[in-house]
Structure 1
Amino acid sequence: MLLVLRNDWLPTACLPRTYDLAKYCGAILCSQGMRCLDNLAEVWVCPSCQKPLAARTLQQPKDAIANFQYYVHSELPQEV
């Protein structure tokens, strides 16, 4: 499931640093829905994302932040 939540087009400098990205297979996730930021653990998924992620053929949900809806707010300098 985590592999379809990646976005390999994002520059490395823009990737989230609020959680251990490598342990979550590079998935772009909302840290507020994560049970643990340092180790692989449960991730809360909204109902609109759950259906495509639970389908026989996994798909990236339309509303997933990995689908170019990740805006790097947490990675911007505070002045910005």
Structure 2
Amino acid sequence: MHPLEDALQFIDGRTSQRIVDFVGPVITSGMMAGVGIMLAKVSIDMARKNHIVGFSSMIVGSITYLLTKNLVYTITVSV
């Protein structure tokens, strides 16, 4: 299952599948990459301003990704 499909399951199973089918895997992967880049910038800025919160968020996110290989879980846990 694609990570965007996981995120959209909260909306409605049928709706999410239609959206993913409509935009295709290339667009959904690009969207996930864009979100990842923005979150990486935010986490670096946060780590500079508040070291404890910023670095703990990065560590928890890294561990979550290594254990699950799921970007939706990683984003949810690290934020």
What TM-score do the two structures reach when normalised by structure 1?
A: 0.29
Higher helix share: 2
Relative contact order (alpha carbons < 8 A, sep ≥ 6): 1 or 2 greater? 1
